[in-house]
Amino acid sequence: MQRATTLIMQQVLRQRMQCLVSNSRLPVATFTHHHQQQQHRYTATSTVTSKQATPPPRHDWNRAVSEAERIVGYPTSFLSLRWLLSDEIANVALHLRKLVGSAHPLMKTAKHLLYNGKNTMQAWGLIVLLVSKAGGHAANIPDVEQDKSAGVLHSQRALAEVTEMIRISHLVHNSVVNLQSGTQAGQDGTTFDDMSFGNKIGLLTGDYLLGHSSAELANLRNQEVVELISSAVRDFSESEFIGERDEQNNPLPFKPGTFQRPSLAVGVDFNEHDVLTPMPIGQVMGNPEQEWECRNILNAGSLLGKSCQASLKLAQQSEEMQRHAYRFGKHLALAWQACLDAEIFQTPTLPLDAQFSLVSAPVLFHLEHDPSMYALLEKGKQTVEHIDYHKIHKIVIAGPALAKTKELQCKHTAAALTVLQHFPATDARQALENIILAMQDL
Amino acid sequence: MACLSTSYRVACGTRRQQVHKFIGRLLMDNNSMERQLSSLRTVAHLTSPLQGYRVTTVQSSINKHTQLTQWTNGLHRLSFNAGQEYVNSMHNSHTCSHNRNHSSVHTQQPAGPVREIQIDPYIILDDELKYFYDDVRDLLQSGTSQPELDTIACYYFDGQGKALRPMVTMLMAKALNYHLNNESHQLVHKQRQIALFSEMVHSASLVHDDVIDQSDFRRGKPSVNALWNHKKVTMAGDYILSIASIMISRLRSDDVTIVLSQILTDLVQGEFMQLGSRETENERFAHYLTKTYRKTASLIANALKATAVIAQAEDNVAEVAFQYGRNIGLAFQLVDDMLDFVSSTEQMGKPTAADLKLGLATAPVLFACEKYPELNPMVMRRFSEPGDVERAFELVHKSHGLEQTRFLAKKHCNEAIRLAQELTESPYQKGLQVVADLVINRIK
């Protein structure tokens, strides 16, 4: 029965999306989950856009993911979400059509979410479910609360959904354009109305997702979980305030030498005993690796880690297991981010019109190696569009930063795999390992 | 497949809409006052999800006098430790006047507020409200290490607002506590957190509204979107919401969290309703009232209900709190929509006819449509053509739209007063009735 409903839902979604896509003048690829040849790569934090095909990986990512999905009975990525079938989202789809052809970043975000390319790591809900299954649940949880065939609790499935909703809401809210009167976007009269309308739709869609995720969370009837996940929302918003920003709020690195602090022995993390306490990020500013970690914990690791932790809370597992789950999610998210950050610097020349985040690991590492590069980045203070990305790309790949980034990725991959050893050996744990290994080889 | 979701919408929307349509028609037909009064009662019954409550209110409308006797008896049966309680919580003048008038209350018809006792809700709640905004700011500050986020998030908690939501929430909380004979400090503290939540959610929605509406001023000062990066402003709204949720989760009450999360879904659905104007003339008023409930009244209604839930009140008491808040919220918004046509810019802190300029048709316009059908096409095109706003403004003033809006608001206030009278008599319960008067008589 549940399977049938899922299939129906997917069909509806496909129809809606095709209807949206066929109305657009964007390059249309066939909508398929196993679309191999023409890959688009996108990330939340580092806006990397590469149009090149990737060489076939040694560990097959698609296989790792689809096997994992089979294990927890989770229909392909985030597409199972009930919220996509609501009136409000149908409304948004209608309004989005008006924006097709405009330059509003919301269209880009929508496209990224719809094209379920293998590199988008939309599978956060999947990770949460795999961790749920790998962690198991307390013996006293009644049968009615379990999804026996998948080996997870219904509440954990709902939590996985909430995780994706919150993540998408952040992406959508992040595509709001700054239209303040002093900015370029705010002065451009010809596109102002489009931009303003796009902002409205983006803001409301994000709020819709946020509102519904808190309703879903409330229904889990576990206040510790509500507290934890709410703090992940806080971390997301805080992450957009760190460091210097251009007028569209794109992050810029600090001027080398701004901070004179000794590097800490271990990176900072949240206060385990009080989720309201924010990450003490000031302590690590200026240290490339630890600053990068902090930014990306707030931006990604927090939600994934806290969701994994919350999922074991729902299963009434020990505090210690919950801690392991948090650390697993955090390290996985960081390894993944390092992988994405490295990717664009692995090609000898930067594809046309491609950009990368100026606080991505390779840039920060290179800045440490050669502070003089800051002169090039400084030009982006008003808008990052003024930056010569090709030149920076060239400089960075000639230096040691890429190797350091790969090291960083390995460090977090190893940490994630080590934490995983605390979980009993099950098919779910194996699936998580496969996903990590496939990611390593991308 | 698309019809799947459409039919769902119809199924869940119809009942309330029909009810609202019914009341809308009644009012527009200009029926006699009495009939409208009874229709409003019917609405209260129909929309009440609780069977038990329905029975009591039906009774009350059928036989007011029997009910009055019951109340009086109920009051006498309760041990009335009035003197001590009032000295603790009220200023002396209030104590005296209240005690003096105590007996006369029961012989009066419950139709209107007891005007000879002038209770100022803000004064009797001084303890709870004095450091209210300081506490919100402290809370927001404790959740972030980023000074700019803190500044934006705290911007509207400057103490210049009316603090209507926290005031009504605390008033209801204290009235309920008196009614339930449980006035422990811990309980009041928890209820105060709910009041904090209501104001924080309200502010978060203002912050996001500012980005959507692109208005330059609010409450007589530059709005957040004029001062800061819109992306950061958006994030600050999310931040306020997340901190408010953390605070509520710490009450460790599943039911309170569920009741309060309803506010968030309602708010967004209300915003979405405001986007479209495709509904026909007949549906329009129902659409407007539902939107008003979701955008404004739900917040007050559910916050009040939450104060009852945390006090472990029976369902029927929680429902009184909810319905009181719902009626006050609707009246508040109706008056707000009316003031948009009559207040000056200085009084409101924002430009007049702001709603028209945003393309929104509020109650005064919808009432005016009855007399001037030429308004209909303007409503449909959201006053987008040159001269539309001015023309609509003029026609609203020429029609009885403003009086009719006020009349409808008055109905809701009277219903709120009637509901407040179902609670045990106390200064706070009286305060709830005074609030209804404040809402209808406010000028800004």
Yes or no, beta carbons of A223 and B230 under 8 Å apart? no
Burial class (CB in 10 A: 0-12, 13-18, 19+), A190: exposed
**Cβ-Cβ contacts under 8 Å for B193 (sequence gap 6 or more):** B247, B248, B250, B251
> And the tokens for B438?
């404040």
Q: Looking at beta carbons, which residues of chain B come within 8 Å of A45? A: none
pLDDT tens figures, B205-253:
999 999 998 888 888 899 999 999 999 999 999 999 999 999 999 999 9
If contacts are CB pairs under 8 Å, which of residues 13-52 in chain A contact chain B? 15-16
- Residue B353 and residue B349: Cα distance in Å, rounded? 12
pLDDT mean by block of 10 residues, chain A; 442 residues: 45 44 37 37 39 52 79 58 68 76 79 60 81 93 86 91 91 92 77 88 93 95 97 96 93 84 75 91 86 94 97 96 97 93 91 90 94 92 90 94 95 96 95 89 70
In 3-state terms chain A splits into helix, strand, coil percentages (rounded to 5) of: 65, 0, 35
A279 interfaces chain B, CB cutoff of 8 Å: yes
Position B117 scores a pLDDT of 57
Instruction: Please give the residue that has the higher pLDDT: either B18 or B382.
Output: B382
The C-alpha of A16 sits at a distance from chain B's nearest C-alpha, in angstroms, of 8
The answer, yes or no, to whether residue B198 has pLDDT greater than 60, is yes
Residue of A nearest to B10 (CA): A87
Q: Looking at beta carbons, which residues of chain A come within 8 Å of B8? A: 87
Position B343 scores a pLDDT of 74
Work out how many CB contacts closer than 8 A connect A with B: 179
Q: At what angle do helices A87-99 and B2-28 cross, to 10 degrees?
A: 100
Q: What percent of chain B has pLDDT over 90?
A: 58
Yes or no, beta carbons of B238 and A233 under 8 Å apart? yes
Interface test with A, best of B257, B294, B295, B302 (most A CBs within 10 A): B257
* Residue closest to B427 by CA, chosen among B123, B166, B8: B123
| Gap between the terminal Cα atoms of chain B | 48
Q: Looking at beta carbons, which residues of chain A come within 8 Å of B270? A: none
- Residue B437 and residue B442: Cα distance in Å, rounded? 8
Coil, helix or strand at residue A358:
coil
Q: Looking at beta carbons, which residues of chain A come within 8 Å of B231? A: 174, 176-178, 240, 248-249
Residue of A nearest to B139 (CA): A276
Residue of A nearest to B215 (CA): A180
Q: What is the mean pLDDT of chain B?
A: 79
Q: At what angle do helices B164-180 and B315-342 cross, to 10 degrees?
A: 160
The answer, yes or no, to whether residue B302 has pLDDT greater than 90, is yes
* Residue closest to B291 by CA, chosen among B301, B276, B306: B276
- Residue B71 and residue B425: Cα distance in Å, rounded? 10
* Residue closest to A205 by CA, chosen among A179, A251, A169, A237: A169
pLDDT tens figures, B344-368:
655 656 667 888 988 899 999 999 9
The C-alpha of B179 sits at a distance from chain A's nearest C-alpha, in angstroms, of 28
Residue type, B61: S
Beta strand spans in A111-199 (E) = 146-147, 152-153
The C-alpha of B349 sits at a distance from chain A's nearest C-alpha, in angstroms, of 21
DSSP sequence for B113-180: --TTS---HHHHTHHHHTTHHHHHHHHHHHT-S-HHHHHHHHTT-SS-S--HHHHHHHHHHHHHHHHH
The helix/strand count (H/E) of chain B reads as 25, 2
Yes or no, beta carbons of B265 and A218 under 8 Å apart? no
- Residue A237 and residue A169: Cα distance in Å, rounded? 11
The domains located in chain B, with CATH, are 78-441 (1.10.600.10)
pLDDT tens figures, B34-66:
444 444 444 444 343 333 333 333 334 434 444
Give CA separation, B94 vs A238, B85, B116, B255, B430, in Å: 47, 12, 11, 36, 11
The C-alpha of B97 sits at a distance from chain A's nearest C-alpha, in angstroms, of 45
Instruction: Say if residues A85 and B5 touch (Cβ distance below 8 Å).
Output: yes
Yes or no, beta carbons of A223 and B251 under 8 Å apart? yes
Residue type, B125: L
Which of the 8 DSSP states describes residue A371?
Answer: G
- Residue A387 and residue B60: Cα distance in Å, rounded? 73
Position B32 scores a pLDDT of 42
Q: What is the ipTM of this complex?
A: 0.86
If contacts are CB pairs under 8 Å, which of residues 73-112 in chain A contact chain B? 85-88, 90-91, 95
> Is the CA virtual torsion A368, A372, A374, A377 positive or negative?
negative
Task: Measure CB to CB from residue A240 to each of B2, B232, B267 and give the nearest one.
Answer: B232
Yes or no, beta carbons of A240 and B231 under 8 Å apart? yes
Yes or no, beta carbons of B5 and A85 under 8 Å apart? yes
The C-alpha of B161 sits at a distance from chain A's nearest C-alpha, in angstroms, of 24
> Is the CA virtual torsion A88, A91, A95, A96 positive or negative?
positive
Interface test with A, best of B202, B258, B265, B298 (most A CBs within 10 A): B265
- Residue B258 and residue A218: Cα distance in Å, rounded? 5
Residue of A nearest to B147 (CA): A241
Least confident interval from B52-61, B136-145, B248-257, B291-300:
B52-61
Position A125 scores a pLDDT of 86
Which H or E run includes B217? strand B217-218
The domains located in chain A, with CATH, are 2-23+38-138+149-178+191-440 (1.10.600.10)
User: What's this model's pTM, rounded to 2 decimal places?
Assistant: 0.81
Q: What percent of chain B has pLDDT over 70?
A: 71
Distance of CA B73 to the CA centre of its chain: 31
Coil, helix or strand at residue A133:
helix
Position B67 scores a pLDDT of 42
